[in-house]
Amino acid sequence: MTILDIDFGRMYREHLAASRRRVKPPEAWDARAAEMRRETDGRYMDEFVRRMDLSGCATLLDVGCGPGTIALAVAGRLTRVYGLDYSPGMLSVMMENAATRGISNVEAIERAWEDDWTGVPACDVVVASRSTLVNDMADALAKLDARANRRVYLTSLVGGRFVDTDVLEALGYAPPPLPDYIYVLNILYQMGRHPRVDYIEVENRRAVAPDFESFLRRVAFSLGELSPREKERLRAWYDANPERAREGGKPRRWAFIWWETRGA
Ligand SMILES: C[S@@+](CC[C@H](N)C(=O)[O-])C[C@H]1O[C@@H](n2cnc3c(N)ncnc32)[C@H](O)[C@@H]1O
């Protein structure tokens, strides 16, 4: 067998199925929208934006835009930016954030990765930041590529875990890791693209949970509702050393991947 015999799109789908990921409906993100507005994610956003080349670009599409983290950060340098998300709550927060910051060249598009993207405008730059845990990676990358006149920038998880291994151990629960960025690189290669990769390291999100209830909500958001026994184990782990829990675990690493499209 050679690498040419591997269907990385299929392998990604099979890996995702094996990892027993909890599929989240838009309402799950609606419920987090207010909290995400408050989260200041300055360093991640700065690290993402400083790696982007916007020269000669006028328009941007931000897929899985959430509160508008990337779209709003660069709106002042472009004529029009579009934020696409399947969560109406996130899109409202993005538009409120835009209004608060006096940004008027942003438009919300309520759409899912899995939907038909007819009518989604092609833009000079297309971005997908921390929003790439999709059901079908080959389809998602083809959609990003087809909408980008010049370049695509995305981030994808490194290592396949949103919850630290020490927390998983405390729960006595070890789901297989999620598929990570290495599929993205291989699928792009098979699409005939030449992706470039860099890494953004950020503080673990656990550090922003001020108390047990908020910590529990974060763990459940990733792993699904915990059983009473699991909650007890998590509580015991937290109470044994609340400072350790609040300090956050190992830094999270995102692969920052970009490529030029055919139109470039
Ligand atoms: C972790 S947030 C990232 C938000 C923003 N891009 C950032 O980096 O701060 C993930 C976003 O992807 C959106 N999302 C998740 N699944 C989606 C899907 N199937 N279709 C469209 N958007 C989705 C969520 O609503 C959420 O706003």
Per domain, the residue ranges of the chain are 3-164+174-209+250-260
Instruction: From the CA of 66, give the closest atom in ligand 1.
Output: 27
Instruction: From the CA of 68, give the closest atom in ligand 1.
Output: 5
Is the predicted pLDDT of residue 38 greater than 80, yes or no? no
Distance of CA 139 to the CA centre of its chain: 16
Lowest mean pLDDT among 23-32, 78-87, 140-149, 187-196: 23-32
> Is this structure's pTM higher than 0.85?
yes
Is the predicted pLDDT of residue 37 greater than 80, yes or no? no
Q: How far is the CA of 254 from the centre of ligand 1 (A)?
A: 15
Q: How far is the CA of 129 from the centre of ligand 1 (A)?
A: 8
Q: Is the CB of 64 under 6 A from ligand 1?
A: yes
Position 213 scores a pLDDT of: 86
Q: In CATH, which of 1.25.50.10, 3.40.50.150, 3.40.50.2000, 3.20.20.70 is domain 3-164+174-209+250-260?
A: 3.40.50.150
- All residues at 6 or more sequence positions from 233 whose CB lies less than 8 Å from its CB, including other chains: 170, 171, 172
Binning pLDDT at 50, 70 and 90, where does residue 248 land?
Answer: low
Position 210 scores a pLDDT of: 77
Q: Is the CB of 83 under 6 A from ligand 1?
A: no
CA-closest residue to ligand 1 atom 26: 66
Instruction: From the CA of 64, give the closest atom in ligand 1.
Output: 12
Q: Is the CB of 183 under 6 A from ligand 1?
A: no
User: Which residue among 27, 40, 51, 87 has the greatest number of ligand 1 atoms within 8 angstroms of its CB, and so is best to mutate?
Assistant: 87
Is the predicted pLDDT of residue 39 greater than 60, yes or no? no
The helix-helix angle for 137-147 and 181-190 (nearest 10°) equals 60
3-class DSSP state for residue 19?
Answer: coil
Q: Is the CB of 140 under 6 A from ligand 1?
A: no
Lowest mean pLDDT among 44-48, 51-55, 222-226: 222-226
Binning pLDDT at 50, 70 and 90, where does residue 14 land?
Answer: very high
Position 40 scores a pLDDT of: 44
44 — phi, psi (to 5°)?
-60, -45
**What average pLDDT is seen over the chain?**
91
DSSP class of 166: H
Q: How far is the CA of 240 from the centre of ligand 1 (A)?
A: 34
Question: How many angstroms separate the CA atoms of 25 and 72, rounded?
Answer: 25
Query: Element (H or E) spanning 108, and its range?
Result: strand 106-110
Q: Is the CB of 29 under 6 A from ligand 1?
A: yes
Q: Is the CB of 97 under 6 A from ligand 1?
A: no
Written as one letter, the residue type at 81 is: V
Average pLDDT of the residues in 66-78: 96
Binning pLDDT at 50, 70 and 90, where does residue 47 land?
Answer: very high
Q: Longest Cα pair distance anywhere in the chain, in angstroms?
A: 57
Instruction: From the CA of 26, give the closest atom in ligand 1.
Output: 25
CA-closest residue to ligand 1 atom 1: 130
pLDDT tens column, 181-238 = 999 999 999 999 999 999 999 877 655 567 888 888 888 888 878 888 888 888 988 8
Position 263 scores a pLDDT of: 63
Q: Is the CB of 90 under 6 A from ligand 1?
A: yes
Q: Is the CB of 117 under 6 A from ligand 1?
A: no
Q: Is the CB of 85 under 6 A from ligand 1?
A: yes
